[in-house]
Homo-oligomer: A and B are copies of this chain.
Amino acid sequence: MALSVASQIDFDKSGGVVPAIAVDFANGRVLMVAYMNREAFEETVATGRACYFSRSRNRLWRKGEESGNFQVVREIRLDCDGDTILLAVEQRGDGAACAEGYESCFFRKLDGDAWRIADTRKVDPAKYGPGYGHKKSPS
């Protein structure tokens, strides 16, 4: 099943991965952008939980594997040229898709001459342990 639908995704265009946007299923807010290779896509379809491919770690990244902030996938869309995936998810755990503890990774807004934090942190990511987040999010 996932085999045939995966074949319509243009993984070759950008070296084996495509961007995958996760939005909140309830309100549509963009939570994060990560990447999927074919294996990550197929696992996501098979399990119903978002699985990405971490380019920095060079391995599958089962979202929430360290923090418990996993994502239940409610809908998957593909764009017109087949090179970007859109997931509508229920963000579980502490409700923080961002490794810095915010609901959304897009918590900074351009305000004149600076990027300013526009959201309130939902959780202190220190609770997930000292190795969590690896300084940078694992996209």
Q: Nearest Cβ in chain B — how far from A34, in angstroms?
A: 9
* Of listed A19, A30, A114, A137, residue having the most chain B CB within 10 A: A30
Interface residues of chain A, those whose CB is within 8 Å of chain B, are 1, 4-5, 8, 19, 21, 23, 27-30, 32-33, 45, 75-81, 83-84, 86, 98-100, 102, 105-110, 112-115, 118, 136-137, 139
**Copy number in this complex?**
2
List B contacts of A30 (CB < 8 A).
21, 23, 28, 30, 86
Check B28–A29 contact: CB distance below 8 A: yes
Bound Cα distance A112, B45 (Å): 10
Question: Is there an interface contact between B109 and A80, defined as CB atoms closer than 8 Å?
Answer: no
